Amino acid sequence: YIKMRLSIIRTATNSFARGNYARISSSDLSFFEKAIGKDYVKTKEIENYTSDWTRQMKGSSECVLLPSSTEETSSIIKYCAEKRIAVVVQGGNTGLVGGATPIHDELILSTGRIKNNFHLEPSSGVLTLDAGFILADADNRLAEHGFMMPLDLGAKGSCQIGGCIAAGAGGIRLLRYGSLHSHLLGCTMVDGKGTILNLGGRLRKDNTSLHTAHLAIGSEGQLGVVTSVTMGVVPRPLSILSAMLAVSSYSDCIRILSLARSKLGEILSSFELIDGETMKCVESHLPLKNVFQGSHDFYLLIETHGSNGDHDAEKLNQFVEEALGMELAVDGVAANSENERAHMWRLREESPIAAAKDGYIYKFDVSLPLEHFYRLTEETRDKLKGRGRVYCYGHLGDGNSHLNVTTDGEDEELKKELSPFVYNWVVSHGGSISAEHGIGQLKRDYRSLGKSASESSLIRSLKGVFDPHSILCPYKMISTQD
Ligand code: 2HG
Ligand code: ZN
């Protein structure tokens, strides 16, 4: 659960011209010190905030502000709006597209200290918590009451719940519990004028208005700062089981997915894919061993969440036997202990680390209809003709591929070709250029791909309503600078 420091090299450019924003002066700093306390206005040793967690996406900033409440956040933003000071909002800084990294000299507003209120209503399973709570900490608190956070991701030890909402995080159990849209009931957001907006509420059902709280999901800090979240949480499963299958063709992986849906039904919680190249990469760069003898073209990691261990084990074993009996899988193993289960998950969750160790890396996070999911990997391999190594892993059950390409050194030609090729391919096959990582600065140049002009214009209008001076997170997903 520790945030990992990798040497991922990003393909983002820092070539966006600085907007017409004010520069921070000493009287601004005095205002901030008065508003939130001297200790929480940082001007030195702020590299942890000005770079993303990989330390490859770097920006600069004069200062980091750490408010501890919605009210303090509001007073900062109100002041910045009046003075036209640009602000970038940052949670746990675990994003993968540079959305929380400043570009020129934006002030950094970190939500890490906004973590005073945590209130669970056990009868309804509705939780209200401040934005700065770390996902794993919130989950551990819920465990004491038999509940669980419905979302789970590799960065859980560092990412904050407000950031998860703003990033529209997906993760490894979306297949079972649904996206954040299924859970978020309400939130408090401070808009770009400093107004405190109380959106939605604590009710599971409320059809009295537009579902405005949902605008916060995936908004990347561009509409406001999420300071408090109200969401439905789920009963903690009494039994969690995992199994892996080795498979020799992609079409068999899809047949196995259908089999899993019908045989495991409501207990199916994860259906993850690791392709053969990725597994070889994991084995060669990390001290981890494949759970199968020999190598295969595809591996599936399947997890169940249920309430009766014997029942679930019987179902899972039957499913594995059936996949083998129908010759859809060539080998299969179920984890027999917590250690074995953890080992299976390390193979999948550390795939990005292995790929990053493989060389200069080009990362993609795309959604595709299942019939095209793996063709993108194959066609990227064909296109590169050995100029790079292509890895695919991801959340197959959600149609979310993490395509990663690595080369020995930086390849300018490839850099120019690769993103347009992948993104155009994805959009022309009915996919999305960002499944769960967002747009941030990494995908900014491609953000209108697949979007209608009318949708883009609506989004700009909304930005104008929430943030009329465009001070929040400039140069990114919804940019008014160009
Ligand atoms: C995952 O599913 C994360 O492991 C990261 O979304 C994916 O970095 C990646 O390629
Ligand atoms: Zn992922």
Contact between residue 405 and residue 418 where contact means Cβ atoms under 8 Å apart? yes
Residue 170 CA: nearest ligand 1 atom is 6
The closest of 304, 300, 311, 242 to 267, measured between CA atoms, is: 304
Return the exposure string of 173-201: e unless at least 16 CB atoms fall within 10 Å of the residue's CB, then b: bbbbbebbeebbbbbbbbbbbbebbebbe
pLDDT of residue 415: 87
Q: Are strands 331-334 and 239-247 parallel, antiparallel or unpaired?
A: antiparallel
Distance CA 219, CA 166 (A): 5
pLDDT of residue 479: 76
In this structure, are 202 and 99 located in the same domain?
yes
In this structure, are 283 and 389 located in the same domain?
no
What is the total count of domains within the chain? 3
In this structure, are 68 and 216 located in the same domain?
yes
In this structure, are 59 and 175 located in the same domain?
yes
pLDDT of residue 4: 38
CA of 172 relative to ligand 2 center, distance in Å:
7
0.85 cut: is pTM over it? yes
CA of 122 relative to ligand 1 center, distance in Å:
32
Pocket test of ligand 1: the residue of 94, 363, 402 to mutate, having most ligand atoms within 8 Å of its CB, is: 402
In this structure, are 119 and 265 located in the same domain?
no
**Last residue of some domain: 351, 369, 402?**
351
Beta-carbon contacts of residue 269 (< 8 Å; ≥ 6 apart): 173, 175, 176, 177, 237, 240, 303, 304, 305
Counting Cα atoms < 13 Å in the Cβ hemisphere of 251 gives 1
CA torsion 8→3→143→204, rounded to 10°?
A: -50
CA of 400 relative to ligand 2 center, distance in Å:
7
Counting Cα atoms < 13 Å in the Cβ hemisphere of 44 gives 2
Distance CA 278, CA 390 (A): 8
pLDDT of residue 15: 65
Q: What is the largest CA-CA distance in the chain?
A: 74
Radius of gyration of the chain (CA): 23
Binding pocket residue ranges, ligand 1, CB within 6 Å: 96, 154, 349, 352, 363, 402, 404
Q: Are strands 224-232 and 126-130 parallel, antiparallel or unpaired?
A: antiparallel
In this structure, are 283 and 376 located in the same domain?
no
In this structure, are 7 and 61 located in the same domain?
yes
In this structure, are 129 and 227 located in the same domain?
yes
Nearest-CA residue for ligand 1 atom 5 is 352
Q: Which residues pair with 51 in a beta bridge?
A: 58
Contact between residue 175 and residue 271 where contact means Cβ atoms under 8 Å apart? yes
In this structure, are 377 and 313 located in the same domain?
no
SS3 content of the chain, % helix, strand, coil (to 5): 35, 20, 40
Pocket test of ligand 1: the residue of 57, 393, 400, 442 to mutate, having most ligand atoms within 8 Å of its CB, is: 393
In this structure, are 246 and 259 located in the same domain?
yes
- The three-class DSSP label of residue 359 is coil
Token digits of residue 337: 């202990």
**Last residue of some domain: 331, 351, 371?**
351
Token digits of residue 394: 């991801």
Contact between residue 390 and residue 424 where contact means Cβ atoms under 8 Å apart? no
The DSSP H or E segment spanning 244 is strand 239-247
The closest of 263, 226, 235, 220 to 98, measured between CA atoms, is: 220
CA of 149 relative to ligand 2 center, distance in Å:
17
Q: Tens-of-pLDDT digits for all 482 residues of the chain?
A: 333 333 343 444 456 799 999 999 999 999 999 999 999 999 999 999 999 887 778 999 999 999 999 999 999 999 999 999 999 999 999 999 999 999 999 999 999 999 999 999 999 999 999 999 999 999 999 999 999 999 999 999 999 999 999 999 999 999 999 999 999 999 999 999 999 999 999 999 999 999 999 999 999 999 999 999 999 999 999 999 999 999 999 999 999 999 999 999 999 999 999 999 999 999 999 999 999 999 999 999 999 999 999 999 999 999 999 999 999 999 999 999 999 999 999 999 999 999 999 999 999 999 999 999 999 999 999 999 999 999 999 999 999 999 999 999 989 899 899 999 999 999 999 999 999 999 999 999 999 999 999 999 999 999 999 999 999 999 999 977 65
Q: Alpha helix locations (H) across 178-249? A: 180-183
Nearest-CA residue for ligand 1 atom 6 is 171
Pocket test of ligand 1: the residue of 54, 437, 442, 443 to mutate, having most ligand atoms within 8 Å of its CB, is: 437
Q: What is the DSSP letter of 15?
A: -
Beta-carbon contacts of residue 39 (< 8 Å; ≥ 6 apart): none
Domain containing residue 277: CATH number: 3.30.70.2190
CA of 63 relative to ligand 2 center, distance in Å:
31
In this structure, are 435 and 377 located in the same domain?
yes
In this structure, are 9 and 78 located in the same domain?
yes
Distance CA 20, CA 441 (A): 19
Domain containing residue 475: CATH number: 3.30.465.10
Domain with 475, as residue range(s), is 1-234+451-482
CA–CA distances in Å: residue 317 to residues 184, 258, 310, 324, 332: 35, 16, 11, 11, 10
Domain containing residue 373: CATH number: 3.30.70.2740
